Structure 1
Amino acid sequence: MKKFQSTIILLLLASILYAQVRLPKLISDGMILQREVPIKIWGWASPGEKVEIKFVDSAYSVAASDKGKWQIMIPPQNAGGPYKMEISASNKITINDILIGDVWVCSGQSNMELPMRRVEPVYKDIIANSSNKYIRQFYVPREYCFTERKKDFSDGKWTEANPQTVLDFTAVGYFFARELYDKYKIPIGLINTSLGGSPAEAWMSEEALKEFPHYYEELQKFKDYSLIEKIRKSDSVRINNWYTALRRKDEGYKNPDTPWYSTAMNTAGWDSIAIPGYWTNTPLEGTNGAVWFRKEIEIPESADKSSGLLILGRIVDADSVFVNGKFIGTVSYQYPPRRYRLPEGVLKPGRNLITVRVISNLGDGGFVPDKQYELVLKDTTIDLKGYWKYKTGAVMPPLESQTFIRWKPGGLFNAMLAPLFNYKIKGVVWYQGESNADRPVEYRRLFPALIKDWRNNWHQGDFPFLFVQLANFMEPDSAPSNSNWALLREAQTKALDLPNTGMAVTIDIGEWNDIHPLNKKDAGKRLALAAMKIAYGEDPVFSGPVYKSMRIEGNKIIIDFSHTGGGLVCKGNQLKHFAIAGADKKFVWANAEIKDNKVIVWSDEIKNPVAVRYAWADNPEGANLYNKEGLPASPFRTDDW
């Protein structure tokens, strides 16, 4: 009898638990709902269960479907708040601190994912003054799925901006939101769904990928979970074995009494090398494995040595840092800036020793040039550039890269995008393209297909879709040349043919030695200008000059532009980065001047010109055509060669 009663109680408990109304992670405390459109609130309950919502002095109800799904449409609301929402069924959920405003989805790869924390050295004052309860972010967990569209996220919450939380906001998104809030004084919600390194095809639905059979077939392949586990295991074993062998072989660790980071280590036989610099064209060229670097510095007796910040630019690929024999920190991959806080008591007056163990996995390692390398004390800065001693600890074969399964086609769409489609939005801001730059011609079709795919799935018509054109990057070329990055920028520009799209040109705010430029403020501001035009119906000058047409007059080509604003201007003494070619398709640097709001291009070398290119390079350093409003001209070519 007791066993029977226990069974009944368990069944009743299970029934009660099953009947609990549940909400997606997005529908939670602090959320910002989209103003001036019908608002969808949805969730799960037991089949047929009545769900009631009370919100802004009104009540709404619905019965859950036979599959336990329910949704309620709330009439359009004006911007405002905070409000409270009560959702009742067999249980009751209260959602507090709700705002009504504009919701923007921030997506793409690492330049969108990059948080304010990474740009803190540039924007300390802005971060210190970032408290604003009307700017909020929902951070989407970095996950993937190939087999189905996820209904919800595994985690996530809304966070309002303040000097602590804003460090985890998307930097581009935050500056975008800041501009819009300052202009319109309405709440701005950011949904940060981005992932470093992700190619465009990872953000597209299975249906959209059918246009691209090679990606569609790859998606089918990765629906096999056993294949994913096999690849993971193989990668894990191979990578772990490589690092284990490296540690075992590394001479720098073999003598426990005097490891190479020890202050007692004799470095009389070590060689010297200039830092910063890549290993190419040095005795270390082609070295994979571990190389140790040491530098002695003198700290004046008068300097405040209570703490310090050791800035070591960027290092390819990984590093471990020791100061006076004490381990300070490590970074496991090449992209983050190296900024190591030194604990109190590590530094001393007089001689101090800095040791850096660098691991090069593949290709040439090195200390990235044109970055900060210094020890910053409270009252003293010590330059660390110059000659360091070095010695190779272990040589290893190149380490084959891991398989980035999360970047495979369709996986991010299903896990990081699909759960958003019920949530009403104002639009999308997108920063991506670097991972597709080796396939720029394909991007002409791929990127517009992605935009259409998202619009089809959101069922909100042609909502604003704003994007950042690739910034300048890599070493500049001394002569006109072909460029995949230029081709991809061209593909991005072509996407402007779609309605309600806008592009922020950033060829003037990149960094030749960093794929993640720190100037995210101007990128966000330029996106906001596009939003003011496309999403808010304002009429600002929101774009720099865009190529419109050309005509040939003798040995000159005259270029006409749209989006000239208050007029074309040259930032500098003369226009740069124009190239011209004849029928032989050989481009040479050209003269160029602004006349009657057009650009006239010519070269004494080309008597019969047929084509012009501008800023057509990975890094068009010095390209200086703008409009008077300070917005740069987009790179272009008049040919289709």
Structure 2
Amino acid sequence: MQHLTRTILSSFIGFLLLTPLQAELWLPAIFSDNMVLQREAPVPIWGSTIAGYSVSVEIDGQTKSTTANSEGKWRIDLDPIPAGGPYTLAIQANEIVKRFENVLSGEVWICSGQSNMALGAKRSYDWDLERLVTHSPNIRILTIGQQSAERPLNDFKGEWKLSTDQSLEDFSAVGYYFGRRLHQTLNVPIGLIDNSWGGSTVEAWLPRETLDADSMFSPLMNWWDRKMAAYSQEDYDADVAAAQTKIAAWEAGGRQGAKPRIPRDDRNGQKRPANLYNAMVHPILGYGIRGMIWYQGEANTKRAYQYRELFPLLIQTIRQRWGLGDFPFYWVQLADYRDEKSVPVQSEWAELREAQSLTLERLDNVAQAIIIDAGEGRDIHPRDKHTVSERLARIALARDYNYNLAYQSPQMQSVEFKDGQALITFEHVDGSLYTFDVKQPLGFTIAGVNRKFVWAEAKQIGSNKIQVWSDEVPNPVAVRYGWADNPIVNVYDRAGLPLTPFRSDDWPGITAHTKTP
């Protein structure tokens, strides 16, 4: 009898364990109520259920079916869905049904990078005014929860939300203002996915196998492997204890200066290679999007030359793994930051900006927004996110939505050295060059063969040329503009787009040989 009771109990427990498994229909968090699906393109929907189950997806009168594979995984690509809504998206696996309500179809953009992309709207200028007009039922937002992993994950924490003053407070200011401009212009639903983490390095957003495949990055990867092998929980606990001691002293001393921070565990932080790709990119790969805007680079300034390779590799890799071809990828060049200098000096930040600009020559369907005039010397997180988002929006509206707008900042096209002067010709000039505040162009330096740069005089010649000289350099061979952490510059075109910082020389910079953090 006792044996029979155990048998019946075991069978009952087995039934309880088996029933939820048979009833399982799982979809990642990228699919939720209030989501926006990308219009004018196939719509991928994926998830998992019991192996062999028949799965169907229905929306707006369209139904498609498939069968879950031996691992229970399935994917269905819906035909393009007209812009609009709200729709109900229904997924059925055998008798199990999940429904997502209030779904829209429109334009979906990923907003990624580090803290200047992550900075919440409540920390941007004029939020007290902006929050009065944030209610827009057709703008939807999704924040990918900050998480890291050593192996690729299939999901994340988060859900689509309506655009309200409360939901936007901590949502990317750049992303929201960018999306709002698109919504106002296109009059279609907009979906914005904030996928950013402050202080993240570019290599954290790349898969490990991609970095390992190129010997160029071996010093970087070996450095991290040695660091992780030597790092223990005891080490981290000791770091935390030391920081807590500093915080106590800071509080006892009247809270003067910045509060010391509790350190992040580098094993699962936002700087370790592949950590963020695994946890924040891999779970959403394949979701229908129009493109990506990117604001990152501050964490890589000490390795700016290496960024010349890492950044285009990032774009190529994400595009390839996303499976949507060379989708639009637009980034923000680093703003001006730190103290202004009384004499020309070398600059890591200038070299990182150059690495960003060089990517324009490497890849198709890319563009950059220049904000050398929108930073704050005292704060790495400038509050002016409107200028940033408007310049990104210009790019998207011109390139992807066929509006006749200037969107490229003027760039150096050629330089001619003659009679002790440099005559610079610029391209992508809307109307003509224009100097803000004062008539004389500011921000130019010039050097001879001794490679010693001095401040230069400058004069605009016609609509797209500037003449540069200095009595201290009778035979110049190199000219630079905006080549500093925080340069004093004033050259724009008539569309209000600032001149792109540049140099005519290729002399090795101060980050040329730095391969590790």
TM norm. shorter chain > 0.5: yes
**Contact 2:395 / 2:408 at 8 angstroms: preserved in 1?**
yes
CA distance in 2, matches of 1:519, 1:245: 33
Higher helix content, 1 or 2:
2
Specify the code of the residue in structure 1 equivalent to 2:471: D
Query: What stretches of structure 2 of length at least 5 have no aligned partner?
Result: 508-517
1:74 equivalenced with 2:78 (yes/no): yes
Taking the aligned partners of 2:27 and 2:187, their CA distance within structure 1 comes to 29
Contact 1:501-1:534 within 8 A present in 2 as well:
no
Question: Partner amino acid for 2:350?
Answer: A
CA deviations over 1:204-249 (Å, ceiling 9, x no partner): 0123212211334456668x8xx69x634422234225535874xx
Taking the TM superposition and a 5 Å limit, the aligned residue runs for 1:487-636 are 487-497=351-361, 498-573=363-438, 574-597=440-463, 598-621=465-488, 623-636=489-502
**What residue number does 1:157 align with?**
159
After TM superposition, the structure 1 = structure 2 runs for residues 271-290 of structure 1, keeping only pairs within 5 Å, are 290=252
Root-mean-square deviation (Å) = 2.1
Whether the 8 Å CA contact 1:111–1:196 is kept in 2: the answer is yes
> Once the 2 structures are TM-superposed, how far is the Cα of residue 581 of structure 1 from its aligned partner?
1.1
Are residues 1:638 and 2:504 paired? yes
- Give the secondary structure class of the aligned counterpart of 2:10: helix
Distance between the aligned counterparts of 1:403 and 1:631, measured in 2?
39
Aligned match of 2:237: 236
Of 174, 179, 188 in structure 1, the residue corresponding to residue 176 of structure 2 is 174
- CA offset digits 1:259-283 (Å, max 9, x no partner): xxxxxxxxxxxxxxxxxxxxxxxxx
SS in 1 for 2:480: strand
1:138 aligns to what SS in structure 2?
strand
Q: What is the distance in 2 between the residues matched to 1:220 and 1:134? A: 46
The counterpart of 1:291, out of the listed 249, 253, 276, is 253
Is 2:203 the counterpart of 1:201?
yes
- Counterpart of 2:193 in structure 1 is 191
Once the two structures are TM-superposed, the CA of residue 201 in structure 1 deviates from its matched residue by 0.5
Structure 1 residue 81 displacement after superposition? 0.8
CA distance in 2, matches of 1:6, 1:184: 62
Q: Report the secondary structure of 2:165's partner residue.
A: coil
Map Cα deviations across residues 496-525 of structure 1 (whole Å, 9 max, x no partner).
121011101111010000000000011011
Matches within 5 A, 1:235-634: 235-241=236-242, 243-244=244-245, 247=248, 290-292=252-254, 316-318=257-259, 333=261, 403=266, 405-406=268-269, 407-497=271-361, 498-573=363-438, 574-597=440-463, 598-621=465-488, 623-634=489-500
Matching residue of 1:42: 46
Superposed displacement of residue 114, structure 1:
0.8
Cα deviation code 1:464-511 (max 9, x no counterpart):
000000000000001111101000000000111210111011110100
Give the aligned residue type for 2:171: F
More strand per residue: 1
How many correspondences in the alignment?
A: 495
TM-superposed deviation, 1:456? 1.0
Q: Which amino acid aligns with 2:96?
A: N
What residue identity is the alignment partner of 2:415? M
TM-score (norm 1): 0.74
Rounded Cα–Cα distance in structure 1 between residues aligned with 2:411 and 2:28: 43
**Aligned match for 2:144, one of 116, 140, 164:** 140
Give, in whole Å, the separation in 2 of the partners of 1:242 and 1:510. Answer: 30
Q: Provide the secondary structure at the position in 2 that maps to 1:215.
A: helix
User: Contact (CA 8 Å) 2:149, 2:268: kept in 1 or not?
Assistant: no
Give runs of ≥4 in structure 1 deviating > 3 Å. Answer: 215-222, 230-233, 244-247, 400-405
Give TM-score scaled by structure 2 length: 0.91
Identity across the alignment (%) = 37
User: 1:123 is matched with which residue?
Assistant: 127
The counterpart of 2:115, out of the listed 110, 118, 134, is 110
> Structure 1: which 5+ residue stretches go unaligned?
251-287, 294-314, 319-331, 334-360, 362-399
Q: How far apart, CA to CA, are the structure 1 residues paired with 2:118 and 2:179?
A: 15
